[in-house]
Amino acid sequence: MFFSEVIGQENIKQRLIRSVQEDRVSHAQLFLGHEGTGALGLALAYAQYISCGNRGENDSCGTCPSCRKYKKLIHPDLHFVFPVFNSPKYKNPISDSFIKEWREMVLKSHYFSLSQWLNYIDAGNAQVMIYERESDSIYRKLSLKSFESDFKVMIIWQPEKMNISCSNKLLKLIEEPPNKTLFLFVAENEEEIIPTIRSRVQLNKIPFIEKEPLKKALLDLGAEHDIIIDAIHLSNGNYLKAISFLTPDENEQFYFSKFQEMMRMAYSRHIPSLINWAEEMAKIGRDKQKLYFHAALRLVREYFIFNMKKMQMVYLNHDEIEWGKRFAPFINERNIIPMSEEFELAIKNISMNGNPRIIFLNTALRIVKLIKR
């Protein structure tokens, strides 16, 4: 992975490059950025640059033996950890159980979401996690001497999904790592990483992508100029959202349709239908359940702003806008705060392994009371 393959983020790139050139590489770093900002790509480009045998001023050479292996993600000193799930094929999986699929996914595009990863590995309704047993694999890999490079690199994607026992087992290793060992954590939500790990890493905060490099990236895809302008506005610096505007993602369409169903049934006060709806939503898996409530939270907030008639402040796609022309008036100053609180509470309860059937039905029934305020 080259720095040039990451859209925008020039300030971050130069800071990372300088840290290598000045021999100031911190052994544990957190690349913190929303999905679609390029955090994973930056971590990969950084690792490749560190290991490159013939570094340039602004990027790795791409031709040395190390770079050639990095481009295929098969360098013997590069290791990955990411969320996986128990399946009929793998009863006690670790990241290496899915390394073939991981390499395929990353080589296809380093811009992808957790939801897209779940779909790629056919996780279905299963809950993904970085299990406690992963820590044993990490210890084993890092106890070995590096094969070819100065550094052994461990990239941990979505550490928010790390089992608490796994996190605790890694604390001493992160604090006192073997010589020339580099931990690169790639996360979206800092608060979901245990504080004892957060306190041991150097933070690299990845901002949203600037408009001009995002525009160039979309033009390179062959999109029309007028559509690109709307995509840039809608995405607010998130490349995945911009791509989703050009080619809508199935998951986003699903969440939107389920949001429409909930609101229609809540407005009509058809309780039997809401019960059936809650039963259906209880079966989609906890990760998707949380993503649904995040989507619902975004939509009610956007529809509230929609009512102000300030479209430059609205981040809705075409279908959401069309539906909002009829629905948005029902989101107002009397119910926006309690509605938002209900969705935030639902996210919290799902995260705490509450009964999803009860959580969805309880939330829907509360929306029945709120929607006609």
Per-residue pLDDT of the chain (373 residues; tens, 9 = 90+): 899 999 999 999 999 999 999 999 999 999 999 999 999 999 999 999 999 989 999 999 999 999 999 999 999 999 999 999 988 788 889 999 999 999 999 999 999 998 889 889 988 777 889 999 999 999 989 888 778 888 899 999 999 999 899 888 888 888 888 888 999 999 999 888 989 999 899 999 999 999 999 999 998 887 777 788 888 887 889 998 888 877 766 778 899 999 999 999 999 999 999 999 999 999 988 888 988 999 999 899 989 988 887 777 777 877 888 899 999 999 999 999 999 999 999 999 998 889 999 999 999 999 999 998 6
Non-local CB neighbours of 324 within 8 Å, separated by 6+ positions: 302, 303, 306, 316
- Give the global pTM: 0.77
* Torsion angle, alpha carbons of 169, 122, 185, 16, to 10: 160
Which of 289, 304, 305 minimizes the C-alpha distance to 343? Answer: 289
Instruction: Check: CB of residue 193 under 8 Å from CB of residue 43.
Output: no
Q: Token pair of 226, please?
A: 């007028």
- Do the bridges between strand 202-205 and strand 28-32 make them parallel or antiparallel, or are there none, so unpaired? parallel
